Structure 1
């Protein structure tokens, strides 16, 4: 039997915060700031956004590895943060995240119509997140109340390794019965999420304006002058360069046109691995 390359897409694997819900990705970032503050350690919102997309324990470990944050921690506790300290921060972060997740649970404008359009194209809707399962349960419940139900959900602690490893994306491939990873698109607002899709052999679409990189509310995004928005797009595009997304778009609203373009490329014999 010979290998038959897929001729059209079968599934889209969507991130959650900054992609489908929580324009600006405020729910996780603000809670990192608050969790560190409860230990007397200052972390700015900009610093908290840096490792966004990783599993939350790994995110905190990465923050603690930054020299300026490690030094602030040392001044408070007279030692550099150990893994046990990271776990203590994580255990404080988790209840705060669960308590406040509803404050940033609104669907991104246009997301529902876009997802309906994807389903009309015959695509299954997978999803994954840097949130652990206990938080994802709440996120999924809130999204369902607002009209969004994914076909499959994979939390970061439901696989051996979270982002940027490919395990969550590949778990969606298996659960959704997709025949080839080249027939999948991973959509995310963070570089670990794009690396996840790349490592899984999928097409990848990076979101420049709805998520962590721009870090604005929808209203602030819409109010940006055109020249400033273009400058922000260029800045964010450079941030994503290392993860090599196949496409850069503002928000999920722009995704259907990308799907059509990928289907045309598949029909011509192109593959995500070759791009």
Structure 2
């Protein structure tokens, strides 16, 4: 391989998650669906519990909830058997249309997303996307995003490949779709640890979003109504969680990405690579 292919001096692509990253400030759409899903089967869960596995493919997310100790014990009590893969399959089939209905109300672009993405394209970067949503849900989301001006260069969904986050396969497919290499020429932007880890798994730069996504789980109105001192405490807590999960950088939202792109490109120009 030509040495230049492994020693990029500029970024070639930025790959974005969807909910909590580009759309749906607070990543709110899946939460009610998860709570209602388990309630339909007689098991109470709360939003805080529902958020814990966020970023995983939705089948994996449901499985993680159903096998969490408290929820598993309640499932055993209600149904008289342990939560198993067949139960997960059944819940997943019910969940998909529930989440597809919910995303219709939570598909608004996050403020600053479109201008940031336009600026990246103007700099010559390709725009990739991966998501924990499956294809039927994204069939609802994509036209809603497109109507607001967001049309990425590719889309890889959970379920498209044999495994999803936190492994690298969705990113491998994305780089193939975009015809971009090496991974050091790519930045992955995400609001969840599994989404950051799929970027780390392939060797990309990863940027975590502390405020706009699942880590806090607040709507934009709730965040804006939070006193400044409390905001800073929440920001520090979310930042620590995302850094511990593998982020090279943490920012509030995608609106704050461009200065980080400048920093990464300066590092590339110095011969640095993602650690």
Deviation at 1:139, TM superposition (A): 1.0
1:166 equivalent to 2:168? Answer yes
1:217 equivalent to 2:214? Answer no
**For residues 126-275 of structure 1, what are the structure 2 equivalents within 5 Å?**
126-272=128-274, 274=275
Mapped partners of 1:239, 1:266: distance in 2 = 26
Most deviating of 51-60 and 92-101: 92-101
Mapped partners of 1:226, 1:194: distance in 2 = 27
**For residues 90-105 of structure 1, what are the structure 2 equivalents within 5 Å?**
90-105=92-107
1:70 equivalent to 2:86? Answer no
Q: Is the 8 A contact 2:59 2:89 kept in 1?
A: yes
Q: Deviations over 1:57-83 (max 9, x none)?
A: 000111111110011111211112111
Residue number in structure 2 paired with 1:124: 126
Query: RMSD between aligned alpha carbons?
Result: 1.1
Residue number in structure 1 paired with 2:3: 3
Mapped partners of 2:54, 2:143: distance in 1 = 22
1:147 is paired with a residue whose SS is coil
Mapped partners of 1:268, 1:157: distance in 2 = 38
Q: Deviations over 1:198-244 (max 9, x none)?
A: 00100000000000011111111122222111111121123224322
1:103 is paired with a residue whose SS is coil
- Which runs of no fewer than 5 residues in structure 2 stay unpaired? none
Q: Is the 8 A contact 2:24 2:108 kept in 1?
A: yes
Mapped partners of 1:57, 1:92: distance in 2 = 11
Mapped partners of 1:185, 1:90: distance in 2 = 31
Residue number in structure 1 paired with 2:91: 89
Deviation at 1:54, TM superposition (A): 0.3
Residue number in structure 2 paired with 1:33: 35
Mapped partners of 2:111, 2:225: distance in 1 = 15
Q: Is the 8 A contact 2:97 2:137 kept in 1?
A: no
Q: Deviations over 1:182-202 (max 9, x none)?
A: 000000000000000000100
2:3 is paired with a residue whose SS is coil
Aligned residues: 273
Mapped partners of 2:36, 2:127: distance in 1 = 33
Mapped partners of 2:243, 2:219: distance in 1 = 24
Mapped partners of 2:241, 2:31: distance in 1 = 18
Q: Is the 8 A contact 2:63 2:88 kept in 1?
A: yes
Mapped partners of 2:258, 2:130: distance in 1 = 20
- Which runs of no fewer than 5 residues in structure 1 stay unpaired? none
Q: TM-score, normalised by structure 2?
A: 0.97
1:127 is paired with a residue whose SS is strand
Residue number in structure 2 paired with 1:107: 109
1:51 equivalent to 2:46? Answer no
